Amino acid sequence: MEESERQRRRRRRRRLYRLRQLAVEIGALLVLAALIGVPLWLILRSPAEPEVSAPLEETSAVMPDTKVEYPVRTGDTAGFPATTDADCAILIDVTNNTVVAARNESTIVYPASVTKVMSLLVAVEHITDYTATFTFPFEMLDRLYIEEATVAGFLKDETVPMTDLLYGAILPSGADATEALAVHIAGSEEGFVRLMNEKARAMGLKNTHFMNSSGLHHDDHYTTAEDMAVVLREAMNNPLCRQVLSAVHYTTTVTPQHPEGIQLFSTMFGRMYGTEPKVATVIAGKTGYTSEAGHTMASYAEGENGHDYIFVSMHGSSRWEATYDAIEVYGYYCAPADEKPRPTNYTP
What are 328-344's pLDDT values in tens digits? 999 989 877 666 554 55
Q: Give the pLDDT confidence score for residue 8 in this predicted structure.
A: 61
- Pair (200, 239) in one structural domain: yes
Q: Per mean pLDDT, which range of 39-43, 79-83, 344-348 is the poorest? A: 39-43
In a domain, 67, yes or no: no
Q: Give the pLDDT confidence score for residue 5 in this predicted structure.
A: 61
What are 236-291's pLDDT values in tens digits? 999 999 999 999 999 999 999 999 999 999 999 999 999 999 999 999 999 999 99
Residue 267's contacts (CB-CB under 8 Å, 6 or more residues apart) are: 171, 172, 173, 286, 287
In a domain, 182, yes or no: yes
Q: Are strands 280-290 and 294-303 parallel, antiparallel or unpaired?
A: antiparallel
- Pair (196, 319) in one structural domain: yes
pLDDT band at 183 (very low <50, low <70, confident <90, very high): very high
- Pair (119, 17) in one structural domain: no
Please name the helix (run of DSSP H) or strand (run of DSSP E) that holds residue 96, with its range, or none. none
- Pair (28, 103) in one structural domain: no
Burial class of 225 by CB neighbour count within 10 A (0 to 12, 13 to 18, 19+): buried
**Residue 230 belongs to what domain range?**
72-339
Q: Give the pLDDT confidence score for residue 44 in this predicted structure.
A: 41
Tell me what the mean pLDDT of segment 122-132 comes to: 95
CA 122/CA 194 separation, integer angstroms: 10
The pTM of this model reads 0.82
- Pair (39, 77) in one structural domain: no
